Structure formats: C-alpha cells, structure tokens
Amino acid sequence: MYRIIPEPPEVAPQIDILLDRAFGPGRRKKTAQMLREGQRPASGLTLIAIENGRLVGTIRFWHLRVGGRVPALLLGPVAVDSDERSRGIGAALIRRGLAVARSQGHGAVILVGDEAYYRRFGFRAELARRMTLPGPVDRRRFLAMELIPGALAPAAGRVHPAGQPEPRRARRAA
C-alpha cells in the first residue's frame, strides 16, 4: 500500500525521471512550465506517493497571481509511475494536495489538464475564462476551482508566477 508524504529534498532527481517518463522530453516547453520556471514550489504543497521505499507518484503546487492581484495556486505537475496507474494514486495525491491548500487558506487553484478527469475535484473551464496564460493553451484544458467561494470573482487578466525564486546554483571553478 502506498503512503502520501511531504516531498523530501533527496527525491528531486527521482521526480525528474518520473516526470520525464510521464510527459516526455517536451514537458519543459509547455506553457504551465513557464509559470514554474525559476520558482520554488509552494511550501507544504509538494507531496509524493511512496510504496515499499519506491517513488510511485508526485504532485506540486506553485504560487501565482491573476491580473497582478488575485492570488492562486498552479497545480502540476501530477504524475504516477506508468506501472502504478489505475490504482487511484493520482486522485489521492490531488485530493490530499487540495486539502492541504485549503487548510493553509489558499483561495483558488488553476491548471492545464483534461476537464473530464479534473471535473470530479471541482475544476471547471468556465472559472478560467477571464484569465490568460503566458503561452499557447487549449482553452478547454485551462481549468480553475475555488477553495474559498468567490475567490476567483475578481480574477481577470494574465497569470503570472508569484512564488519565491529558486536559489541560483553556485558555479564550480573550472
């Protein structure tokens, strides 16, 4: 049986491998990645699913601002090892992540994903209709949900990253 726990720093290389397998080599060119690039994930909102000491799933959330003023989170990426799909791990990660976000007082979450899958969690394309992303997106896949009713009522305009920057890696001497 898998357990969902906070992401420890030492699993970052394993997560990159899992994400590369799940989304392919083009994953870093996606519009949602533009919002994550150079940012730290939201504190307390990076979770992994682990089973018998092996990483089987991951989810991360990121701070955003809509129109420069309305705070929200970006959900993603969420991924499950291909050998472990159809066990409900992804859904469990999403539910836990949303519960943690709600408990921390966050008001809204956006994502780019399949509405047929994410609708069960409360995501809707109509809630994102007045927002734009910094790159191309299929509008049917641009989804949002409110953790606090009315949190997205004033949300309109471009979505921007709003998290803490990743620390720059020290350069090695040649």
The answer to whether residue 108 scores a pLDDT higher than 60 is: yes
State residue 172's pLDDT score. Answer: 43
- Residue carrying the six token digits 């009522």: 153
Cα–Cα distance between 48 and 114 in angstroms, integer?
A: 21
Quickly count: other Cβ atoms within 10 Å of residue 98's Cβ: 22
Looking at 20-24, 97-101, 114-118, which range is the least confident one?
20-24
Higher local confidence (pLDDT), 157 or 173: 157
**Closest Cα partner for 122 from 139, 105, 97, 104?**
97
Cα–Cα distance between 115 and 123 in angstroms, integer?
A: 7
Cα–Cα distance between 84 and 18 in angstroms, integer?
A: 12
Residue 85's pLDDT band (boundaries 50, 70, 90)? Answer: confident
The answer to whether residue 23 scores a pLDDT higher than 90 is: no
Domains of the chain, CATH where assigned: 3-161 (3.40.630.30)
| Tokens describing residue 113 | 């994903």
Paired with 159 in beta bridges are 66
pLDDT single digits (tens) 111-151: 999 999 999 999 999 999 999 999 999 999 999 999 999 99
pTM above 0.75, yes or no: yes
